[in-house]
Amino acid sequence: MTTPYRLLLAVAIVAASAVGGAAYAERVAAQEPAVISDRPVSTLDFTQLIGSADPDTRLIETAYEQLIHSYYEPVNPQLLVDGEEKALDAYVHAKSKTGYAIPAGHATGTATHDLPLLERTVADVQTHAPGLAKGQLTEVAVAGMLAGLGDPYTTYLTADAIRALDEELKGGNFDGIGVFIGKDPKTGAVVVDPIEGNPAIKAGVRTADAIIAVNDQPVAGKPLDEVEQLIRGPRGTVVALRVKHLRPCPKPGTACPPVYSNEVATIDVTRDVVHVPSVRAKMENGYSYVRLGDFGSTSADEVKSAFLAAKAKGAKGYILDLRNNGGGLLDAAVDVSSLFIPSGPIVSTIDRAGDKDVRNAEGDVIGAQPLVVLVNKYTASSSEITAGALQDDHAATLIGTKTFGKGVVQSLYMITNPNRGALKITTARYVTPKGRDIQHKGIVPDIVIDQPVDAPIIDTPADKQLAAAKAVLKKEQQ
């Protein structure tokens, strides 16, 4: 997914949506939109499977077996061999000065030949580049095998990546200060957007402050993940942020670029348990607006609470903003969709054998009507499940631009080896209630209104798509 903007949490690297205001965000191409099935998650325990067998060898065997038997399309084993060799070759050249050239291997399609070939390649690299740890080489090999399929959603996750994914999908309860960070694409400044109710905003950090230094370490030129690591830490400890405050836009209501004043402050923030809500909600001119950042385990409850609170205040219409929402859990998409669809199918997943699993509405409809859903080209995966179901059921009017087009589902296979990694494998494709396959096609909204996708426009007076949503709701009242 090639996108110009992406938000990172300063408390964890996660796939979060961009937020409104002047805090520009830098999207990371390596992070793909995700829909993770809650149901087929497996734990592969090496001890139970093979007793005292070498865990590195077993990791390669497990990856091979899961890809061959679980991937949603037939697998060409040569792609796994080529992917392993390519990844190891790049790693050896980056980490070692041996100049060892990995000989090309040829798969036959039989496990008795291909598995020893994959394992022997790692052993040969360790022999010719003895300074490289076998465990790390094995992880590189497995990551290469998965990458060899050319599927950006089928990957090997390290323990750190699993922790970040878990934090995101569980709503983000972990230690930190509670800010989104990103880079202004014009100035390169690292800017922040503090999250309500968390330590940073309580300490005085303002939306769109530019971070100059963290604990006296300048951040200019540093990647966002390094800045995140400087900011992050255990609860009860203090981090000193040196910031420049943003000067207000001289023409309110226009899409002004960030301009920083000369006012510099050092703010001491005491780290604590942070909760990152997936929902931002407000009432404006009688319309309920809910922006959903991802599809995590708490998302449906948060959307439900926000819309019911608005309904109790006499909301005239409802807007669900799924723009820049890259997805999350499949179950969360079903739960959110069930708030608006009283019965019938929400989504159907289809595995390699053609077996279909139909997920139906769960009878939790809240009567939030009329409803408009905002989408754009970064509305992906679980977001598309919900958008497609609501469109097929005529439960909402979709406004914006064509969605991303990710119509496949991944399963996580946790591995209890010493590295505690996981295999994320595409195991099924999905179709909408009317049988639409959106992979590489996306969903065309009912009303197409184009506008830039950068964060500062969303939920501002310059947001033409949001204005159109309000116009549609107003018209329906007449």
The model's pLDDT over 281-324, given as tens digits with 9 standing for 90+, comes to 999 999 999 999 889 888 999 999 999 999 999 999 999 999 98
Tokens 């409850």 sit on residue: 301
Q: With 70 as the cut, is the pLDDT of residue 34 above it?
A: no
Nearest one of 373, 408, 412 to 390, comparing CA atoms:
373
Distance CA 332, CA 329 (A): 5
| Mean of per-residue pLDDT scores for the chain | 83
Task: Report the pLDDT value the prediction gives residue 53, as an integer from 0 to 100.
Answer: 65
Query: For the ranges 80-84, 93-97, 117-121, 123-127, which has the lowest average pLDDT?
Result: 93-97
The model's pLDDT over 233-270, given as tens digits with 9 standing for 90+, comes to 999 999 999 998 866 655 555 555 555 566 788 999 99
Query: Rounded mean pLDDT of 404-431?
Result: 87
**What are the catalytic residues?**
381, 392, 406
Task: Report the pLDDT value the prediction gives residue 40, as an integer from 0 to 100.
Answer: 40
Q: With 60 as the cut, is the pLDDT of residue 400 above it?
A: yes
Domains and CATH numbers, the chain: 8-30+174-274 (2.30.42.10), 76-148 (no CATH), 279-477 (3.90.226.10)
